Amino acid sequence: MTDSSINGRLGFSGGNIPFSDSPGSARDEFTSWLFDDINALPAINYDGLGLMANTDGFGNPIYPNFFDESGLDNMLPMPSPGSTAGQSTSWSATSTAGMGLSEEKRQAILSFMETRFIEDDTSDGGDRVKEELYQDNRDHDDHPLSLASMHSYVRSFWLHFNDQFPILHKPTFCPDETNVQLLLAVMIIGASHIDKTGSAGAKAFAYFSARHLRWQVFRHPDSRPPAKLWVFQTLLLLEVFEKAKSSRGLHERSNVHSPTTITLMRRGTALVNDQLEEPHHHKSTSPDQWWRRWIQAEATRRAAFVAFILDAYFSVMFGHSSVMSVHEIHLPLPCDDALWSATSAAEVARVEVSLHANGVKAPTFTEAMKRIMTGRKVTINNFGRTILMAGMLSVIWHMQQRDLQMNVLGMSRGQAGGLPNNWKEPLEKSIDFWKKDFDDSLAHMQLASLPWQQHWHKSLETETREASSILCHLAHMFLHVDFRDCQMIAGASNIAGKPITDSARKAAKGRFRGWVCSASGRTAVFHALQCLREVFLNPSPDSGARYRAANDHQLVRPWAFYIAGLIIFSWGYTIDGLLRPFPSHLLRSPRASTALPQDWEVTDQVRSSAYQDAQLYLSTIGSVTSPQELDRIKAGRNNVVGLLRTLEFAFQDSQWELLQEASVRLQGAVLLLER
């Protein structure tokens, strides 16, 4: 379902206020709701249940109480004899939902691009990209602007991206009825995933469209507060592409403009204006009308949560400033997957009756966060669990910022309004509990699946389990180390567009000398090792296939591997210094006259030797079963040339420019070990 068909507006009113004003002072509701409850309850309680009443969602003017059968009767009237409510004219999904794109819609897209996407800046090669994109016969199936290509972009979006961020309603998504700008954003994401070999056509389409689309969205009247839902869906999809799949220039542009999306959300005044003007339990409301409103409301809160996830992810991955905080959000978590995938209003009603009979009620984000951070289970879907991990990452970021402020001002945490000294410990336990609860949920789903679903569930479970494991390791690493320090030690000349001074690099090295011997250092290194072991020592039948970032559809995973590699390098290099003897065969042939990276060989033999060296390191140094065991290792910690080169090779053919830069930075780290 898109906004072109239900034409709702994203905004907030009444008791369902997802965002309050800006984050408060040092001792505000943020630390109050977090640490008061953590200190009052046991840190871990594996027997807790996650079923709770939803006070902020169902039962208010936006979400009718369809757990209550009387409310269900009012909102979803069953067709009486002679009525048309249940006939084929009702508004429902089709078997080809989300896939059909007509030639007429394609022509509308091409016309929009030709008349709106005007290149007025040729400094970064945009005119060349446009020329490449528009050359040859656009009606030929192989052309990036052909109908067949556009079909493939949309299919790729649903296949590779939607499960990670399910903000569009697939059963009722119809490309021909979708706003052109939102459809372009969908195809940009799809094109960035579709071609694992780096086809120039798909890449050119995605890059050229993204260069111009943001400005067209901002120019549209629907982007004025209170903005419409399609505006937010488009901006969020664009942010994913710009920050994590495109060029350095688009990455920096998105960093500048992403707070605009959050500001637009905060400036909204009504979820769906016409909903608030009429009673929701009116007898004349048809099932299809009710379902339209329900989809609109659910899609709206999913957009808000995706904005929150991206804010947390990118502040962790790139050191961007977070603009959202957990205490701002007062929304129910996303609904059950069975509801979101339902293809008719009647199916939604049946699913709701079943959920109600089993005592399943959607928790609010705040209540679910409190439960997961105090070791109590939460019954939610995988998307909801991802939201909770984003919540913990957000908490870590804000607490680290408060620590930094106190250090700069020379204040103790006690002077900062009661901030606890051991705030990392309960968060560490919460991250571990989140992972255990996630794994338990996946195991339960596998056991509950029918025989014909076993293969599908096993494949989905493996991918989901791997993604959750990476998030868990990333959270632990982020909790215990400043990634920017690792980049400075590896020789980065600038971070986030800021040049690194000699004094800043010297300070980072000083911090690391103390860090490598600390409990935080051991924990971060341990999780970095475990993170990389899962990809390089994977026991699955496909383990022979070496990891390539170009083949990875997960948003966080490639950058998490880069961070893990930098942490391990910084640890070994800080403790053991230069690597002697240096394994020159992992860089170049004996005939090479210099140590410069441009003279390094990238032959199959070098790749194979580096991969074997990486596996050896991870099966020896990385075989520790706890952070404390790292203290027993006294040699070989800096023997990471094979590991760094293997990561370098994995990143080299990625279309994402930041990963290409990461590959170069890993080369610089190797040089530091040799000199």
Domain boundaries defined on the chain: 3-19+32-47+67-76+96-455, 481-674
Beta strands in 132-193 (DSSP E): none
Query: How much of the chain is in helix, strand and coil states, percent to nearest 5?
Result: 60, 0, 35
d(CA 618, CA 635): 14
Half-sphere exposure of 297 (CA within 13 A, CB side): 26
487, 531, 380, 49: CA torsion to nearest 10: -110
Half-sphere exposure of 613 (CA within 13 A, CB side): 23
- Residue 128 has a pLDDT of 73
d(CA 400, CA 482): 10
The mean pLDDT value of the chain amounts to 80
Tens of pLDDT, residue by residue over 573-610, are 999 999 999 998 888 655 555 555 656 767 888 899 99
Cβ atoms 317, 556 nearer than 8 A: yes
3-state secondary structure of 640: coil
Residue 200 pLDDT level (bands cut at 50, 70, 90): confident
Cβ atoms 480, 520 nearer than 8 A: yes
Residue 214 pLDDT level (bands cut at 50, 70, 90): very high
- The residue among 100 and 430 whose pLDDT is bigger is 430
Amino acid at 514: G
3-state secondary structure of 313: helix
Task: Look at residues 67, 52, 56, 63 and name the one whose alpha carbon lies nearest to residue 380.
Answer: 52
Task: Look at residues 316, 336, 419, 339 and name the one whose alpha carbon lies nearest to residue 39.
Answer: 419
pTM: 0.84
* 499 sits in which H/E element: strand 498-499
Tens of pLDDT, residue by residue over 73-104, are 333 333 333 333 333 334 444 444 456 899 99
- Residue 360 has a pLDDT of 82
Between 459-463, 558-562, 587-591, the lowest mean confidence (pLDDT) is in 587-591
Tokens of 586: 């992992």
* 153 sits in which H/E element: helix 147-156
Tens of pLDDT, residue by residue over 113-171, are 999 998 776 666 666 777 778 887 889 988 999 999 999 999 999 999 999 999 999 99
- Residue 60 has a pLDDT of 34
d(CA 361, CA 355): 7
- The residue among 629 and 280 whose pLDDT is bigger is 629
Task: Look at residues 252, 448, 438 and name the one whose alpha carbon lies nearest to residue 358.
Answer: 448
Task: Look at residues 590, 65, 134 and name the one whose alpha carbon lies nearest to residue 362.
Answer: 65
